């Protein structure tokens, strides 16, 4: 089954559009967690345990593991092994390079680490994205319009066709979706632009970061997709969920906030 | 001293614009190397030994180390430790994410791995690039116009200002160069466009990949910079140098080809 089909059916069966971002920063962990042998693993394990029944995807940001140096790889692998097989995993890696290098990145993320999907940057064009798309079962979320302030610097510049640059990207990547495994990253902080991108690329799945800490609203996102059953969408929250409480009740609070967001999206 | 100043003075003192890309692929190594305990390290060590007196920069492509899985980190660290201190190192990583994630990538590349410079992708805008630029001594080569075929998909689209998108990027990143440590990646396969980008961003350093295997010509590049003493430029060749011979004379041949390219650029 193609990645986009798998995602669609998982959203349906689990009645959830929730993606939880495991951006675990040691400096933000509660005292009891810090006193364990592997604080990041302890914390991740608890978050997963308290949210696995309500989330369809966990998104792991590779930057956080790379910053740990040598031990980062093992912690990443061990975190992945704690996630139940039926839940999808996204490597939030934002990779992209010339073909032979992108092939190596795809090998690292899919074959070695075993992720189900990856985020990629479109700036270098087709041959930089293609190696990630080779296996229809693996998902490829292409950055289209991101949630951060800097998204106005280039993504929203107008092209000579009279449309913003991010729509040029949305249109083009639709042509690359022969394996039905491409998705778009569209920041929740731009609800109107999400609508125009989904119109330009109606058959792609959609990953929406930026709710919670970054200011996007779940209810607004839900409305965009209310009459749309061909674009499977997932909404990611990272810090808003995993750091919902800085105290010892962090896992319970994470579940509460995650459940609220899930319900808001249904 | 700022990174761009350091690069400029190193080019001058060493009389070389050469950057060698260590994209070491195990499937391309000679038999004698494959029979050693650590083929990639053996090969890299020989290439470094035979070229360190003529190159100003080694560029290491992180994709190749990540594809090795757990042992990739150690091989990368050990390779870095073999490079003499006075030679600059670039992490060819093409990273870029929202601010707090880019900070983590900068930590990984500069603080943990100890690289002197990194390649970054501009698509997400200022706040995704800024964390890499915080330390003036560390260089940040921003992708402007890459050497691959896919560079025509987005980088060369015309903007509403009547210029190609990559020139929008070149203009904008000049404004970010307060620490004199930003450079541009400009593919050797586009000589005319290199000229226009350097005109748009005259004070940035320039990293030019794509000579050799990818088809760019060193002599053409040299001419672009012949009356320009404010843009320090380096030209990278990876496969063209390190796989100049597939036989046991690989290191000798690599030196020969590297020397030819160095001389062509002077």
User: Residue B228 pLDDT > 90, yes or no?
Assistant: no
**How much is the pLDDT for A214?**
72
Q: Which residues of A touch B176 (CB under 8 A)?
A: none
Name the band, by pLDDT with cuts 50, 70 and 90, for residue A37.
Answer: very high
**How much is the pLDDT for A245?**
95
The tens digit of pLDDT for each residue in B13-31 reads 999 999 999 999 999 999 9
What is the Cα–Cα distance from B58 to B80, expressed in whole angstroms? 9
Burial of A173 (0-12, 13-18, 19+ CB in 10 A): buried
**How much is the pLDDT for A78?**
98
Angle of helix B126-133 versus helix B99-106 axis, rounded to 10: 30
The tens digit of pLDDT for each residue in B155-211 reads 999 999 999 999 999 999 999 999 999 999 999 999 999 999 999 999 999 999 988
**How much is the pLDDT for A210?**
86
Name the pTM for this structure.
Answer: 0.97
- Residue-wise DSSP of B154-202: TTTSBBTTSSBHHHHHHHHHHHT-TTS-EEEEE-TT-HHHHHHHHHHST
Radius of gyration of chain B (CA): 18
SS3 A96: coil
Give the residue among A229, A248, A251, A233 at the shortest CA–CA distance from A52.
A251
**How much is the pLDDT for B210?**
86
The tens digit of pLDDT for each residue in A55-107 reads 999 999 999 999 999 999 999 999 999 999 999 999 999 999 999 999 999 99
Residue among A61, A97, A99 whose CB faces B101 most closely: A61
User: Residue B215 pLDDT > 80, yes or no?
Assistant: no
Q: Which residues of A touch B90 (CB under 8 A)?
A: none
User: Residue A228 pLDDT > 90, yes or no?
Assistant: no
Q: Which residues of A touch B61 (CB under 8 A)?
A: 97, 101, 104
Which residue in B has a C-alpha nearest to residue A185's C-alpha? B124
User: Residue B128 pLDDT > 90, yes or no?
Assistant: yes
Q: How far is CA A68 from each of CA A37, A64, A167, B76, rounded to the nearest angstrom? A: 15, 7, 36, 15
Residue among B69, B98, B149 whose CB faces A147 most closely: B98
User: Residue A9 pLDDT > 90, yes or no?
Assistant: yes
What is the Cα–Cα distance from B188 to B197, expressed in whole angstroms? 12
The tens digit of pLDDT for each residue in A101-147 reads 999 999 999 999 999 999 999 999 999 999 999 999 999 999 999 99
Active-site positions of A read 94
The tens digit of pLDDT for each residue in B77-124 reads 999 999 999 999 999 999 999 999 999 999 999 999 999 999 999 999
Give the residue among B179, B173, B96, B95 at the shortest CA–CA distance from B133.
B179
Alpha carbon of residue B145 to chain centroid = 13
Give the whole-number percent of chain A exceeding pLDDT 90. Answer: 94
- Residue-wise DSSP of B55-71: -SEEEEEHHHHHTTTHH
Interface ipTM > 0.90 = yes
**Yes or no: is domain B3-265 CATH 1.10.10.10?**
no
Chain A contact probe: residue of B70, B145, B154, B174 with most A CBs at under 10 A? B154
- Please name the residues in contact with B214: beta carbons below 8 A apart, sequence gap of 6 or more: A98, B147, B148, B187, B188, B189
Restricting to B residues 99-158, those with a Cβ less than 8 Å away from any Cβ of A are 99-102, 104-105, 107-108, 112, 121-129, 143, 146-155, 157-158
């Amino acid at each position: 089954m193609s990645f986009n089909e798998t995602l669609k059916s998982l959203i349906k069966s689990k009645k959830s559009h929730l993606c939880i971002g495991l951006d675990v920063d040691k400096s933000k962990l509660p005292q009891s967690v810090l006193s364990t042998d592997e604080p990041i693993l302890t914390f991740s394990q608890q978050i997963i345990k308290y949210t696995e029944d309500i989330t369809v995807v966990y998104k792991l940001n590779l930057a956080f593991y790379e910053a740990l140096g040598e031990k980062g790889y093992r912690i990443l692998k061990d975190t992945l092994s704690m996630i139940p097989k039926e839940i999808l995993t996204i490597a939030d890696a934002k990779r992209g390079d010339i073909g032979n290098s992108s092939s190596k990145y795809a090998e690292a993320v899919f074959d070695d680490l075993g992720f189900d999907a990856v985020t990629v940057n479109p700036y270098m064009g087709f041959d930089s994205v293609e190696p990630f798309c080779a296996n229809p079962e693996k998902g490829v979320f292409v950055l289209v319009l991101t949630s951060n302030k800097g998204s106005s610097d280039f993504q929203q510049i107008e092209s000579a066709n009279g449309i913003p640059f991010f729509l040029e990207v949305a249109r083009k990547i639709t042509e690359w979706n022969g394996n039905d495994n491409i998705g778009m990253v569209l920041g929740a902080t731009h609800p109107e632009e999400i609508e125009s991108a989904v119109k330009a690329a109606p058959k792609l799945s959609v990953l929406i970061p930026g709710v919670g800490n970054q200011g996007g609203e779940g209810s607004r996102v839900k409305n965009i997709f209310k009459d749309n059953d061909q674009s499977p969408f997932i909404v990611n929250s990272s810090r808003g969920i995993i750091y919902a409480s800085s105290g010892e009740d962090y896992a319970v609070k994470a579940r509460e906030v995650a459940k609220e967001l899930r319900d808001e999206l249904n």
